[in-house]
């Protein structure tokens, strides 16, 4: 298998892009990536990560559409779907294609447009990530499922609602410095306490926002990258783990087994250990998921993520910074694009092109973890800087 490198990235700001259709967002990010670092790549295949174009833009068949509008007529292009992990799943397919030697270059674009219809439509569309027969058709929203996890977690480990404020606070602090982020405000504990409940105990400040955006990357064989440029990042691992779709089918609903599975596989593939990882772009769709991700990934003991965050360990200047560009909470969560935003942001840290206030010193390995549903699909990617 060829080793794979990322030679270019691109993104659009995460916003409510009323004026732009889904194809425009995707093409914008894709073209930015293709022309990144002053080298023009013509990809041999395109993988589009997207969850809800059919439900919300009434547009499936994104692969050919985006190839066409990117002036890449004739190029192989398909859409990959794995709920909120669609971006990571598309990236995984591109890495496969290049590693196998089937193609010499591949582009991945994660794109999502959640604001095309009313918020209610978006809510029901997002809930399709859960079990339709036994969760959503009984009236459970996606937030409700996560609230059920959070309540039990609080009960078992004895936490109060306010203890969770640290995670979104970090995300918002970092997002303030990221021009592409959706939110540019910080909040204090009092605001967190007063925030509107969506599904008790999850409030608005626990929840990543519905947003539009696209993020893209170009992958090529490492040998080719070396010839093209000295600015590239290697893909040390990209591994997928799965779990039951329905939360109540799990042996332990407050432990993300698929996070454990995919992290262990990735670390194993990369031949690394936890100490090698300098920062962690995690999937903070809700505050509780940050806790569970840190624990199941092996960075914290079970039930202790909230104790750890209070030490400052996960701050931008901490020992293991998380959500360095704002995460899902601060940057925004255009679901099918999120996995690619994480990778693009990790690449920025490793290439030292992050906004200066967010730039980490000497980061050499970054981990990005994209979660679909309430932990049913988890894709963990380990990226390493060169030089």
CB of 141 to another protein, least distance (A): 4
Cα dihedral 339, 341, 343, 349 in deg (nearest 10): -150
Question: Site mask, another protein, residues 147-186, x = CB under 8 A?
Answer: xxx-xx--x-------------------------------
Of 2 and 195, the one with the shorter C-beta distance to another protein is 195
Q: Which of 17, 172, 283, 333 is catalytic?
A: 333
39 in active site = no
Token digits of residue 66: 């985006």
Catalytic residue (choose from 84, 238, 300, 325): 84
Given the complex with another protein, which of 199 and 216 has the nearer CB atom?
199
- Closest CB 128 distance from another protein, rounded Å: 10
Residue 51 or 350: the one with the smaller Cβ distance to another protein is 51
Taking the least distance from each CB to another protein, the nearer of 139 and 387 is 139
CA-nearest of 367, 349, 351, 369 to 359 is: 349
Compute the distance between CA of residue 322 and CA of residue 74 in angstroms, rounded to an integer.
40
* DSSP designation for 304: -
Q: Is 21 exposed, middle or buried (0-12, 13-18, 19+ CB in 10 A)?
A: middle
Shortest distance in whole angstroms from residue 303 CB to another protein: 15
Half-sphere exposure of 199 (CA within 13 A, CB side): 18
Given candidates 74, 139, 158, 387, which one binds another protein under the rule CB under 8 A?
Answer: 139
For another protein, the closer of residues 28 and 131 by Cβ is 131
d(CA 283, CA 115): 21
Looking only at residues 106 through 135 of this chain, which bind another protein when binding is defined by CB under 8 A? 118, 120-121, 123-124, 127, 132-135
Per-residue binding letters, 205-234, with another protein (x by CB under 8 A)? ------------------------------
Q: Provide, rounded to whole angstroms, the least separation between the CB of residue 248 and another protein.
A: 4
Residues 83, 62: Cα–Cα separation, whole Å: 15
Helix (H, G, I), strand (E, B) or coil at 129: helix
Query: CB of residue 151 vs another protein: minimum separation in angstroms?
Result: 5
288 binds another protein (CB under 8 A): no
Q: Which is nearer to another protein, 171 or 246 (CB)?
A: 246
C-alpha distances (whole Å) from 78 to each of 34, 250, 264 are: 18, 32, 29
State which of residues 140, 289, 363, 382 lies at the interface with another protein (CB under 8 A): 140
Q: Is 84 a catalytic residue?
A: yes
Cis ω for the linkage preceding 174 (within 30 of 0):
no
249 near another protein (CB under 8 A)? yes
d(CA 377, CA 185): 31
End-to-end CA distance of the chain: 22
Show Cβ contacts of residue 159 under 8 Å, excluding neighbours closer than 6 positions: 153, 306
What is the set of active-site residues?
84, 333
Residues in touch with another protein (CB under 8 A): 118, 120-121, 123-124, 127, 132-141, 143-145, 147-149, 151-152, 155, 196-202, 246-249, 253
């Amino acid at each position: 298998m060829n080793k794979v490198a990322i030679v270019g990235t691109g993104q659009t700001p995460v916003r409510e892009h009323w004026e732009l259709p889904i194809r425009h967002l995707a093409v914008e990010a894709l073209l930015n990536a293709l022309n990144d670092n002053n080298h023009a790549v013509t990809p041999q295949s395109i993988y589009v990560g997207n969850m809800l174009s059919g439900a919300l833009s009434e547009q499936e068949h994104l692969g050919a559409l985006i190839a066409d509008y990117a002036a890449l007529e004739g190029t192989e292009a398909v859409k990959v779907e794995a709920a909120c992990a669609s971006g990571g799943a598309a990236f995984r397919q591109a890495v496969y294609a290049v590693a196998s030697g089937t193609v010499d270059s591949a582009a991945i674009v994660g794109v999502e447009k959640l604001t095309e219809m009313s918020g209610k439509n978006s809510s029901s569309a997002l809930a399709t990530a859960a079990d339709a027969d036994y969760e959503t058709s009984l009236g459970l929203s996606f937030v409700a499922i996560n609230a059920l996890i959070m309540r039990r977690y609080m009960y078992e480990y004895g936490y109060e609602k306010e203890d969770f404020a640290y995670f979104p606070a970090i995300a918002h602090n970092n997002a303030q410095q990221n021009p592409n982020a959706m939110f540019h405000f910080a909040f204090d504990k009092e605001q967190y306490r007063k925030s509107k409940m969506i599904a008790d105990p999850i409030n608005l400040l626990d929840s990543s926002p519905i947003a539009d955006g696209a993020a893209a990357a170009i992958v090529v064989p490492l040998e080719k990258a070396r010839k093209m440029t000295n600015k590239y990042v290697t893909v040390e691992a990209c591994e997928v783990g799965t779990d039951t779709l329905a939360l109540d089918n799990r042996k332990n609903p407050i432990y993300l087994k698929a996070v454990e599975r995919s992290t262990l596989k990735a670390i194993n593939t990369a031949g690394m250990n936890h100490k090698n990882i300098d920062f962690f772009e995690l999937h903070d769709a809700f505050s509780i998921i940050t806790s569970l991700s840190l624990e199941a990934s092996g960075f914290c003991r079970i039930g202790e993520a909230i104790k750890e965050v209070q030490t400052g360990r996960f701050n931008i200047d901490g020992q293991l910074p998380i959500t360095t560009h704002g995460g899902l909470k601060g940057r925004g969560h255009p679901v099918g694009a999120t996995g690619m935003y994480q990778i693009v942001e990790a690449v920025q840290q490793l290439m030292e092109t992050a906004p200066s206030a967010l730039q980490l010193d000497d980061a050499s390995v970054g981990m990005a973890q994209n979660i679909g549903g309430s932990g049913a699909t988890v894709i963990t990617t380990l990226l390493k800087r060169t030089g």
